[in-house]
């Protein structure tokens, strides 16, 4: 038994291979995809700046679906989901002009002309989220944003919040219809499920107006962007006069907006508020139908006094994939956002106009083998806006946003994790409304529906290797670099390629910005070599890649290879397990200053020491007697290199 435990300890000791990093802010980059060829496993992008072979990426289609277009209650119901919501992980194999080649065969089909984006996925061994981790908001014009994704082979420690609130589909923007020319008629209710802006003066009349619909997985239709009908999971806009917008939806349906009330018989009426967004509960979120979505935007209430409320934005998408997630009492949230107008006395309440619908909660995927610590996870719908602040009339409040999905890879919710997928409350007539009869009344507005917690998530990630060669060459997978003394020796093989003119060798210190350091013309041979003479300025990590130039003006890149220069050429740590001291032995090819830190299994630093080492062999004693028994991580940091080792403190 003791022998078995020792083997396990040694296995853990050798598995910790990379320095734990700390991240916050925006760590993803976003690219608009023009077209996907699933047969060839390629994607044409609007811009490939910053992309290279070896970069991990998420391919995801945001929309569209096919919907009803009739002027009826079924307007914008989904008739065919198409490929909206499909997603998968992959790795870039190479680039040819504006086309990227994927390393693995694509699993899904994607709609050409659909809103498809490529999101870079940062890779870590162990990573700690220390500040707020967020993302770029969804931009419906650019077709990018709204997704936060991080992947680690070891652990993700969440000490800072991860926030995708309001990063999803856009709420209906405010649009004011001044009087004149867009006044209402007391004896005619505006019943349309869609209207245009501006309406034709004669047919229909100019008072056939309504608020803007919230964005959803169906595209807007020209001249049908306004009105009470939903836009798939986007909430409908409130119809004339001063009715509220509907809430957006995701798994939970959006709530309906409220009506205008307490007006006189010969005043304008607002009996047709925006409908809530359509629930997507049957359109994905199972392994058999693995799709994910943004929260839908809320609809804008009808506005004619320039004091209304827009629809709230839906929540974005968060994906964390690692062996272990460690919660540090932080919050992961992809909530919908509440309607907000900073120009109003109460920014969350419309005054003499209809209120906006709340945004729906987004989607959160936590793909892990184990969880420890404590963590709060939310994908809530937002509250619809109130209405009637400080005015006599009782305007229509906004509907509540539906909640989203928290999708775990585990079979149940782990201990220490709390999940909230509550639908957003509907708005009410403001308590400051001067008409007491309708204060705090919903006026028919309804709350958004609850979302769900789903289990046994499996992120689509291909297994069939596709990267035998971009352009049928052997370059991409046989390109290598080794250290020969103080020089870097690059070598590769290449089959004869029609039109290939030359190889250009490029070098980088960060793996992002490359500069040319030499070129080799094509010769009648299959093996090539290039030597880079290194200096002290090259100390640290060095990255290389090849750029292939062709006679027709096209070019392609090899994979990126990395070399660590001036790192220690020998290091050992013993004994393991340790009781009093650990011996750390180095053989260095130059003098160095080291920071040696020890972290416990929860990622908390328990020791921090600085050492100065000479060129040659060095030995350091690391005291561990005061540590409690258990698993620890030894982190060794120099300005040129970093190492990480695990060890066990014995009783």
- By CB atoms closer than 10 A (0-12, 13-18, 19+), residue 484 is exposed
Residue 72 has pLDDT above 70, yes or no: yes
Sign, CA dihedral 50-52-54-58, equals positive
479 and 448 in a single domain? The answer is no
pLDDT band at residue 576 under the 50/70/90 scheme: confident
Least confident residue range of 105-109, 223-227, 552-556:
552-556
Final residue belonging to a domain, choices 509, 531, 565: 565
Least confident residue range of 134-138, 297-301, 511-515:
511-515
- 136-168 pLDDT, tens digit each: 999 999 999 999 999 999 999 999 999 999 999
d(CA 131, CA 158): 9
pLDDT at position 593 is 84
446 and 496 in a single domain? The answer is no
The pTM (predicted TM-score) of the whole model is 0.76
Residue 4 has pLDDT above 50, yes or no: no
345 and 404 in a single domain? The answer is yes
295 and 234 in a single domain? The answer is yes
Give the CATH number, domain containing residue 501: 2.60.40.10
438 and 518 in a single domain? The answer is no
Q: To which residue do tokens 């052997």 refer?
A: 474
d(CA 69, CA 80): 13
131 and 250 in a single domain? The answer is yes
221 and 275 in a single domain? The answer is yes
Final residue belonging to a domain, choices 565, 585, 602: 565
Q: Provide the mean pLDDT of the chain.
A: 88
What percent of the chain lies above the pLDDT cut of 90?
Answer: 61
Closest by CA position to 604, among listed 328, 324, 320: 328
Are 318 and 259 contacting, i.e. CB atoms less than 8 angstroms apart?
no
Least confident residue range of 282-296, 348-362, 412-426, 610-624:
610-624
pLDDT band at residue 14 under the 50/70/90 scheme: very low
156 and 252 in a single domain? The answer is yes
Final residue belonging to a domain, choices 460, 493, 513: 460
583 and 607 in a single domain? The answer is yes
pLDDT band at residue 52 under the 50/70/90 scheme: confident
How many structural domains comprise the chain?
3
In the three-class reduction of DSSP (H, G, I as helix; E, B as strand; rest coil), residue 32 is classed as: strand
pLDDT band at residue 76 under the 50/70/90 scheme: low
| Domain limits for position 581 | 570-649
- 524-539 pLDDT, tens digit each: 887 899 999 988 788 7
């Amino acid at each position: 038994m003791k022998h078995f435990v020792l083997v396990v300890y040694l296995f853990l000791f050798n598995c910790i291979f990379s320095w734990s990093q700390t991240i916050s802010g925006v760590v993803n980059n976003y690219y608009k995809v023009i077209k996907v060829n699933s047969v060839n496993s390629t994607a044409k992008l609007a811009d490939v700046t910053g992309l290279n072979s070896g970069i991990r990426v998420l391919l995801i289609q945001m929309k569209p679906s096919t919907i009803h277009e009739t002027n009826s209650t079924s307007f914008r119901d989904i008739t065919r989901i198409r490929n909206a919501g499909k997603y998968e992980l992959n790795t870039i194999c190479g680039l040819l002009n504006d086309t990227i080649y994927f390393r693995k065969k694509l699993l899904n089909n994607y709609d050409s002309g659909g809103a498809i984006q490529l999101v870079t996925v940062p890779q870590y061994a162990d990573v700690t989220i220390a500040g707020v981790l967020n993302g770029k908001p969804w931009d419906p014009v650019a077709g990018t944003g709204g997704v936060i994704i991080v992947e680690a082979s070891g652990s993700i420690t969440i000490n800072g919040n991860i926030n995708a609130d309001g990063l999803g589909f856009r709420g209906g923007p405010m649009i004011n219809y001044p009087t004149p020319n867009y006044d209402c008629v007391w004896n005619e209710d505006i019943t349309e499920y869609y209207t245009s802006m501006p309406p034709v003066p004669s047919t229909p009349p100019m008072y056939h107006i309504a608020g803007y619909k919230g964005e959803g997985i169906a595209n807007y239709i020209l001249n049908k962007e306004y009105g009470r009908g939903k836009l798939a999971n986007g909430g409908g806009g409130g119809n004339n006069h001063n009715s509220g917008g509907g809430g957006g939806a995701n798994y939970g349906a959006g709530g309906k907006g409220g009506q205008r009330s307490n007006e006189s018989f010969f005043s304008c009426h607002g009996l047709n508020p925006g409908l809530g967004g359509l629930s997507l509960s049957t359109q994905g979120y199972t392994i058999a139908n693995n799709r994910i979505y943004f929260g839908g935007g809320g609809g804008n209430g009808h506005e004619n006094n320039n004091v209304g409320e827009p629809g709230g934005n839906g929540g974005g998408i968060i994906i964390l994939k690692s062996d272990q997630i460690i919660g540090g009492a932080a919050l992961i949230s992809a909530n919908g956002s509440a309607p907000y107008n900073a120009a109003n006395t109460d920014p969350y309440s419309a005054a003499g106009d209809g209120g906006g619908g709340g945004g729906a909660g987004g989607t959160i995927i936590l793909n892990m083998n184990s969880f420890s610590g404590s963590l709060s996870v939310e994908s809530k719908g937002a509250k619809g806006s109130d209405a009637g602040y400080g005015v006599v009339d009782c305007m229509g409040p906004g509907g509540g946003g539906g909640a989203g999905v928290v999708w775990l890879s585990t079979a149940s919710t782990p201990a220490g994790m709390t999940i909230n997928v509550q639908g957003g409350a509907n708005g009410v007539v403001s308590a400051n409304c001067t008409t007491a009869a309708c204060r705090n009344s919903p006026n028919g507005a309804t709350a958004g529906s609850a979302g769900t917690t789903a289990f046994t998530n499996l992120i689509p990630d291909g297994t069939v290797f596709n990267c035998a060669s971009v352009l049928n060459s052997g370059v991409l997978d046989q390109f290598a670099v080794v250290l020969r003394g103080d020089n870097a020796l690059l070598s590769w093989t290449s089959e004869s390629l029609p039109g290939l003119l030359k190889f250009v060798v490029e070098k980088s210190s960060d793996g992002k910005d490359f500069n040319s350091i030499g070129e080799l013309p094509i010769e009648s041979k299959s093996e090539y070599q290039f030597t880079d003479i290194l200096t002290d300025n090259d100390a640290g990590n060095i990255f290389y890649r090849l750029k292939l130039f062709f006679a027709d003006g096209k070019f392609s890149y090899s994979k990126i290879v990395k070399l660590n220069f001036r790192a220690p050429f020998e290091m050992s740590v013993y004994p393991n397990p340790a009781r009093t001291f650990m011996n750390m032995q180095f053989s260095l090819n130059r003098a160095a200053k080291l920071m040696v830190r020890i972290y416990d299994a929860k990622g908390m630093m328990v020791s921090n020491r600085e050492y100065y080492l000479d060129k040659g062999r060095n030995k350091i004693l690391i005291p561990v007697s005061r540590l409690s028994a258990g698993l620890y991580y030894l982190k060794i940091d120099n300005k040129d290199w970093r190492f990480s080792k695990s060890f066990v403190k014995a009783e």
